[in-house]
């Protein structure tokens, strides 16, 4: 029998779920309905800032094509919101008055931007009314506002020193806008990065042309005569003038529909390891709106569970897993579905700054310092290897690396201004692989000597193709060969790819110079 699945939300995570469910839809196993609040099908929200500075096009952001999905038999409802979920009757009531029924319901409602408490902004967090010139940079319309500001040489103020705020600021600055980042800690990325990394990061931001206002408590938004944003007012009485204010103060999972129908929520909608809402076998949640924390109080995996990460990668993995699970459920083989191993717990996320002029990666817990008590105490702590910290700081050149390890495996990392090192450390972190004992090896990846020096050993093979050493060539030259062709005829050096002709010339010249001298 066909199973009816309704997906609430049509963002990147929902798009992946739908893609993965398509075979079951085409095969008649699943009747799929997707409800999206925006009028567009899913697009890549991660790149909205790029769109806002004109680096990409709205078309290139698309992750789904509504018409193609409809052709595949998916019921796509755009520009419609869910008013309420009727769990008793297994129906969702929509703003257009319809009420499709479901056998399985998937919440993929994502998150909404946090609107800070500032005088001049509507305090209702669920339905904020933002004055002209203030945007949270979440959707395509927000991107258009930023694009107009950048194109019009307006001053942009970014409130929030998180990764999205920094990316927006850097992109806008690189495209020529005057940008100020306002944040309330001693350095940007306060919650993710350590002091050293934060300091180097702030300096690098300034080098990229971004003004950084740290330790700044903002209190109000000032509007001009036209009712649009004109300045951000700080607690110390100063004002940061601008024409566009980008709010980048984090996101909050959208859980109100789930709460409204009586599901358990914490930061997000609470789901177990099978992404199922607590005590509700017909409802699932994935992506930014979901919080994986199973109902069993003694579950080891969930002991250290955090709220939703705000990153899209974990959501996509959840979508892939859930599609497989739902397909098995729909095939009428519940035994097989139950046998599907649950999705492994996510590691703490990795932040990689999306920017052109500045590279930064940070992951895990980086609070420990090399001279902390634990790192200096010999032996294991409570049967656990002790935490160790290796650090490299070169603020003058905008470079900083910290590796926090336990038994040689990274628990945290910071890399600023070292692109290859950053890429390598992130790999090692993701795989839980052991670092080389000589940590400086990882720093050298960004050194200029990567290619390695040329050997001058006479036994060194000059012609790899024919396997001829420098000594053999020198001998041939001594016995009368004076051109590359003659050396080739005598020794076969240079008769393959020809890449060593310059080396052979060098050896011939060396010989004759020696003869003159």
* Residue 97 or 452 with smaller CB distance to another protein: 452
How far is 52 from 39, CA to CA, in rounded Å? 19
Distance, C-alpha 55 to centroid of its chain:
18
Max CA pair span of the chain: 101
Token readout for 493 is 């050096």
Residue 118 Cβ vs another protein, minimum distance, rounded to whole Å: 31
* Residue 381 or 497 with smaller CB distance to another protein: 497
* Residue 92 or 443 with smaller CB distance to another protein: 443
Element of type H or E holding 4 = strand 3-8
User: Which residues here bind another protein, judged by CB under 8 A?
Assistant: 12, 16, 20, 43-44, 46-47, 50, 55-57, 59-65, 68, 312-313, 316-317, 320, 324, 343-347, 350, 352-354, 356, 359, 409, 419-420, 422-424, 426-427, 430-434, 436-438, 441, 451-452, 464-468, 472, 490-492, 495-499
Residue 11 Cβ vs another protein, minimum distance, rounded to whole Å: 12
Between CA 112 and CA 124, with CA 118 as vertex, the angle to 5 degrees is: 45
Where does residue 223 rank: exposed (0-12), middle (13-18), buried (19+ CB within 10 A)? Answer: middle
Residue 286 Cβ vs another protein, minimum distance, rounded to whole Å: 15
SS (H, E, C) 74-122: CEEEECCCEEEEECCCCEEEECCCCCCECCEEEECCCEEECCCCCECCC
* Residue 238 or 347 with smaller CB distance to another protein: 347
Do strands 82-86 and 75-78 pair parallel, antiparallel, or not at all (unpaired)? unpaired
* Residue 87 or 138 with smaller CB distance to another protein: 138
Alpha-carbon dihedral of residues 338, 285, 350, 427, nearest 10 degrees? 30
* Residue 297 or 452 with smaller CB distance to another protein: 452
Residue 227 Cβ vs another protein, minimum distance, rounded to whole Å: 35
* Residue 79 or 499 with smaller CB distance to another protein: 499
Token readout for 505 is 């010339």
Of 347, 342, 310, nearest in space to 431 by CA? 347
Residue 55 Cβ vs another protein, minimum distance, rounded to whole Å: 7
How far is 10 from 107, CA to CA, in rounded Å? 10
* Residue 40 or 241 with smaller CB distance to another protein: 40
Residue 93 Cβ vs another protein, minimum distance, rounded to whole Å: 31
* Residue 6 or 476 with smaller CB distance to another protein: 476
> Residue 438's CB: how many other CB atoms inside 10 A?
9
Residue 300 Cβ vs another protein, minimum distance, rounded to whole Å: 14
What are the CA-CA distances from residue 424 to residues 62, 390, 403, 427 (Å)? 30, 15, 12, 5
CB 315 within 8 A of CB 288: yes
Residue 419 Cβ vs another protein, minimum distance, rounded to whole Å: 4
CB 187 within 8 A of CB 225: no
Residue 340 Cβ vs another protein, minimum distance, rounded to whole Å: 12
């Amino acid at each position: 029998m066909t199973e009816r699945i309704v997906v609430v939300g049509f963002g990147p995570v929902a798009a992946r779920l739908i893609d993965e469910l398509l075979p079951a839809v085409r095969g008649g196993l699943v009747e799929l309905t997707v409800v999206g609040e925006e009028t567009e099908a899913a697009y890549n929200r991660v790149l909205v800032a790029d769109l806002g500075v004109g680096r990409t096009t709205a078309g290139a952001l698309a992750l789904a094509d509504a018409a193609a999905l409809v052709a595949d038999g998916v019921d796509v409802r755009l520009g419609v919101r869910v008013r309420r979920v009727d769990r008793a009757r297994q129906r969702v009531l929509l703003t257009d008055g319809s009420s499709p029924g479901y056998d399985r319901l998937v919440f993929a409602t994502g998150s909404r931007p946090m609107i800070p408490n500032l005088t001049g902004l509507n305090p209702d967090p669920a339905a904020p009314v933002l004055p002209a010139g203030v945007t949270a940079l979440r959707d395509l319309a927000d991107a258009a506002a930023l694009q107009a500001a950048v194109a019009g040489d307006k001053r942009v103020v970014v409130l929030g020193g998180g990764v999205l705020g920094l990316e927006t600021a850097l992109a806008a600055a690189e495209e020529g806008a005057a940008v100020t980042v306002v944040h309330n800690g001693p350095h940007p990325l306060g919650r993710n990065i350590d002091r050293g990394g934060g300091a180097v990061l702030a300096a690098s931001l300034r080098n990229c042309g971004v003004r950084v206002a740290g330790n700044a408590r903002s209190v109000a938004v000032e509007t001009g005569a036209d009712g649009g944003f004109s300045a951000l007012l700080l607690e110390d009485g100063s004002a940061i003038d601008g024409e566009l204010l980008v709010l980048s103060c984090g996101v909050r999972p959208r859980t109100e529909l789930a709460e409204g129908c009586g599901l358990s929520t914490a930061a997000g909608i609470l789901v177990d390891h099978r992404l199922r809402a607590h005590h509700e076998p017909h409802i699932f949640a994935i992506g930014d709106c979901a919080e994986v924390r199973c109902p069993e109080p003694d579950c080891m995996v969930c002991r250290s569970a955090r709220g939703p990460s705000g990153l899209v990668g974990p959501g996509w993995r959840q979508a892939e897993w859930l599609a497989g699970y739902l397909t098995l459920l729909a095939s009428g083989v519940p035994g097989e579905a139950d046998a599907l191993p649950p999705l492994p717990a996510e590691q703490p996320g990795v932040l990689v700054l999306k920017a052109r002029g500045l590279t930064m990666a940070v992951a895990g817990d980086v609070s420990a310092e090399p001279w902390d008590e634990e790192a200096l105490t010999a032996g294991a702590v409570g049967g656990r290897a002790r935490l160790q910290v290796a650090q490299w700081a070169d603020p003058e050149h905008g470079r900083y690396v910290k590796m926090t390890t336990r038994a040689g495996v990274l628990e945290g990392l910071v890399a600023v201004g070292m692109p290859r090192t950053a890429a390598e450390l992130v790999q090692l972190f993701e795989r839980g692989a052991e670092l080389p004992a000589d940590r400086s090896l990882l720093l050298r990846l960004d050194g200029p000597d990567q290619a390695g020096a040329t050997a001058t050993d006479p036994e060194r093979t000059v012609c790899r193709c024919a396997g001829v050493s420098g000594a053999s060539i020198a001998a041939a030259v001594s016995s009368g060969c004076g051109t590359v062709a003659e050396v080739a005829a005598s020794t076969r050096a240079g008769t393959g790819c020809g890449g060593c002709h310059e080396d052979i010339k060098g050896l011939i010249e060396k010989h004759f110079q020696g003869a003159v001298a």
